Structure 1
Amino acid sequence: MISRAKRVARSAAVAVSAAAAFTMMLPTGNAYAINHVECRGGENFLKIWSHSGGGRHSVDCYANRGRTDFGGWWVDRISTGNNDLIYYDANGDSVRINRWTDISFPNRPPKVNSIEIL
């Protein structure tokens, strides 16, 4: 007769083997996260010129797929580089801008809550 400890050990080994086999058979998902990166000439990053309500100005660059908070800043200009972009504004709208687009908002800049690189 097999002792209880051996049965428990065998059951655990079978469970671990099954979990490992199941993990190996499933395709891996896309792991991605948008990154705030240093703006450098010649790179094709998403580049956003913006200002806050308090008069501060900023130029920020982003790379990689994902979504991040933009803090409700007013966007003056967007250069998408090789990225398709959706920005989500304070009015609840989402606006898609295709790659290789450079757009300025001189009169009525959107107040952007978050951005997403597709």
Structure 2
Amino acid sequence: MISRTKRIARSMVVAAAATVTVTMAMPAGNAFAIDHVECRGGENFLKIWSHLDGRSSVDCYANKGRIGFGSWWVDRISTGNNDLVYYDVNGDSVRVNRWTDITFPSRPPKVRDIEIL
């Protein structure tokens, strides 16, 4: 007969092995936490100038992830230290590399979502 101490120890080892197996089998998910942040001079945030229905806006974003942009017309993008993909209302996606400042004076895109890579 197995002693009580050995049974407890064996149960703990089996539980630990099961935990490790489940942890290894689960896919590692990426935590996407894009944030709308306050625009501040000297920061390398993604910065987007846009307009819609007579209103204009300047918005800044930080951290990896994807967020809805409300189908606003984009006049200018400064990517800072972020690689960006924007998705327009026509279903196209456009990648803009970090350290890029681009303006759209005559035909601005109407952007549905933005994603920091």
Same fold (TM over 0.5): yes
The CA distance in 1 between the partners of 2:72 and 2:110, in whole Å, is 5
Q: Is structure 2 residue 48 aligned with structure 1 residue 48?
A: yes
Task: Say what the alpha-carbon RMSD is for the aligned residues.
Answer: 2.8
Partner of residue 32, structure 2: 32
When normalised by structure 1's length, the TM-score is 0.80
Partner of residue 7, structure 2: none
Query: Counterpart of 1:63 in structure 2: which amino acid?
Result: A
The structural deviation recorded for 1:38 is: 0.6
The structural deviation recorded for 1:58 is: 0.5
Partner of residue 94, structure 1: 93
Partner of residue 62, structure 2: 63
The CA distance in 1 between the partners of 2:64 and 2:115, in whole Å, is 7
Q: Is structure 2 residue 80 aligned with structure 1 residue 104?
A: no
Q: Say which SS state the counterpart of residue 60 (structure 1) adopts.
A: strand
Q: Say which SS state the counterpart of residue 99 (structure 2) adopts.
A: coil
Number of aligned pairs? 112
Q: Say which SS state the counterpart of residue 67 (structure 2) adopts.
A: strand
Query: Counterpart of 1:66 in structure 2: which amino acid?
Result: G
**1:40-81 deviation per Cα after TM superposition (whole angstroms, max 9, x unaligned):** 0000000000001x1111100000111100000000000000
The CA distance in 2 between the partners of 1:93 and 1:25, in whole Å, is 35
* Unmatched segments (≥5 aa) in structure 1: 2-11
Q: Say which SS state the counterpart of residue 39 (structure 1) adopts.
A: coil
The CA distance in 2 between the partners of 1:31 and 1:113, in whole Å, is 22
% identical aligned pairs: 75
* Unmatched segments (≥5 aa) in structure 2: 2-10
When normalised by structure 2's length, the TM-score is 0.81
CA contact (8 A) 2:32 2:64 kept: yes
